[in-house]
Amino acid sequence: MIFFKPSEGWPSDVADYLGTEIPETWQRVAVKVHFGRSKRRRAGVLPSWVAPTVAMLEKRGCSVGVVDTNTLYGGERHTTDAHLAVAHKHGYPRAAILDGAAHELAPGISVPSDVLGYDGIVHFAHVTGHQVVGYGGALKGVGMGLAHRSTKLWVHHGGVPVHKPSACTACGRCVEVCAHGALSTDGISKDCVMCAACVGECAAVSFGWGSTVEVARRLAVAALRIDDALPIWHVAVGMDVTRLCDCMGDAQDEPLGSVGVWVGEDALEVDNAAMRGCWPLGGRHYSKERWSAVVRCASGLRRNT
Ligand code: SF4
Ligand code: SF4
């Protein structure tokens, strides 16, 4: 793991370093980013941060896709077309959305199957605060950001969607979405396989947040399983650090400052360093207690595997 200090903006030697470390066998490379929210001025991960690495990879002859996954919850990043519109608005004209069927990497932990179309992943994780797990970085970027919807649902809530009868108009639309016959206008039955296809289709089918400690534990499990199963280089971007995550509407337009960029293959190691480096900027906005729950769990899992 290595740290790069900013020098009048983005440290240009990040791409040089990745160029020496990424194996020649990587011919198809996914550059994982966060395209941000359309109503804000800019993306979560700026195109100018990513461009030198994409150029380096393309110069080597790699085929590069700049990617993200759709969100679990409804809204502009829930469907591929709308998500691509956000990406285009924020300067990513060649963006791609990973939204394939669930491919299980470890028991209960899945990624969209189209992830497997790449030989390796360069993961740009913007350092932010986070309203539930206290801090966003490399672990959150893979445990939630690269996970299949079913795993996102498990991380957030434990797996079963919530049907809110008071908000249901019995239109029947969600019944068509469920391929397992588990949804009716009366609610969700025990036949639910927790695929999460219905979540976000309608405000009456959603997910509840689990306890923050349990979400932290599940995030750590999902992140490490994905990180261990896939070839990933992490770039934790402690530049224009924000107080809330890039999914939030008001998070990106008032950055708290910049510290630098951490690059490494181990999401836990990269995040530990980035957290220590960026914590003074986050101050009261960041919850050390919640973040510690993620790190404690991830560290325990690493020791036991
Ligand atoms: S939950 Fe939503 S989509 Fe399903 S029947 Fe009720 S209103 Fe329609
Ligand atoms: S999670 Fe999947 S199986 Fe369960 S109710 Fe929703 S669509 Fe049906």
> pLDDT tens, 76-118?
999 999 999 999 999 999 999 999 999 999 999 999 999 999 9
CA–CA dist 207, 156 (Å, integer): 7
Q: Are strands 260-264 and 2-4 parallel, antiparallel or unpaired?
A: antiparallel
Quote the number of domains for the chain.
Answer: 2
pLDDT at 213: 81
Q: Are residues 124 and 246 in the same domain?
A: yes
Q: Sort 296 into a burial class: Cβ within 10 Å, 0-12 / 13-18 / 19+.
A: middle
Q: Are residues 146 and 166 in the same domain?
A: no
Final residue of a structural domain among 206, 241, 269: 206
Percent of the chain with pLDDT over 70: 98
Final residue of a structural domain among 144, 179, 206: 206
For the stretch 175-221, pLDDT in tens is 998 999 999 988 999 999 888 888 888 889 988 777 778 888 899 99
For the stretch 234-293, pLDDT in tens is 999 999 998 888 887 766 678 889 999 999 999 999 999 998 899 888 777 777 777 778
CA–CA dist 197, 218 (Å, integer): 20
pLDDT at 251: 63
Top-confidence residue, 32 or 130:
32
User: Measured in angstroms, how far is the CA atom of residue 240 from the centroid of ligand 2?
Assistant: 38
Q: Are residues 148 and 20 in the same domain?
A: yes
Range of the domain at 77: 3-156+209-303
- pLDDT tops 70 at residue 37: yes
Q: Indicate the pLDDT class of residue 133, thresholds 50, 70 and 90.
A: confident
Q: Which residues are CB-contacts of 43 (< 8 A; sequence separation ≥ 6)?
A: 33, 34, 35, 36, 87, 90, 91, 92, 246, 252
Q: Are residues 215 and 194 in the same domain?
A: no
CA–CA dist 244, 235 (Å, integer): 19
CA–CA dist 134, 137 (Å, integer): 10
Q: Running DSSP on this structure, what letter comes out for residue 95?
A: E
Q: Are residues 24 and 124 in the same domain?
A: yes
pLDDT at 273: 94
Q: Are residues 228 and 187 in the same domain?
A: no
- CATH code of residue 63: 3.40.50.11440
CA–CA dist 87, 6 (Å, integer): 25
Q: Are residues 64 and 116 in the same domain?
A: yes
What is the CB neighbour count within 10 angstroms for residue 163?
Answer: 19
- pLDDT tops 70 at residue 228: yes
3-state helix, strand, coil in the chain (%, to 5): 35, 20, 40
Q: Is the CB of 122 under 6 A from ligand 1?
A: no
User: Measured in angstroms, how far is the CA atom of residue 199 from the centroid of ligand 2?
Assistant: 8
User: Measured in angstroms, how far is the CA atom of residue 161 from the centroid of ligand 2?
Assistant: 7
Token match 């049907």: residue?
Answer: 163
**Looking at ligand 1, which atom is closest to the CA of residue 172?**
5
Pocket test for ligand 1, best of 78, 164, 174, 184 (most atoms within 8 A of CB): 174
Final residue of a structural domain among 181, 206, 231: 206
Q: Is the CB of 161 under 6 A from ligand 2?
A: yes
**Looking at ligand 2, which atom is closest to the CA of residue 178?**
7
CA–CA distance from 53 to each of 6, 60, 86, 265 (Å)? 16, 11, 22, 16
Q: Are residues 214 and 296 in the same domain?
A: yes
CA–CA dist 97, 114 (Å, integer): 9
Q: Are residues 100 and 138 in the same domain?
A: yes
| Strands (E) located in 186-293 | 187-188, 205-206, 232-242, 260-264
Q: Are residues 135 and 177 in the same domain?
A: no
Q: Are residues 115 and 261 in the same domain?
A: yes
Q: Are residues 94 and 240 in the same domain?
A: yes
- CATH code of residue 177: 3.30.70
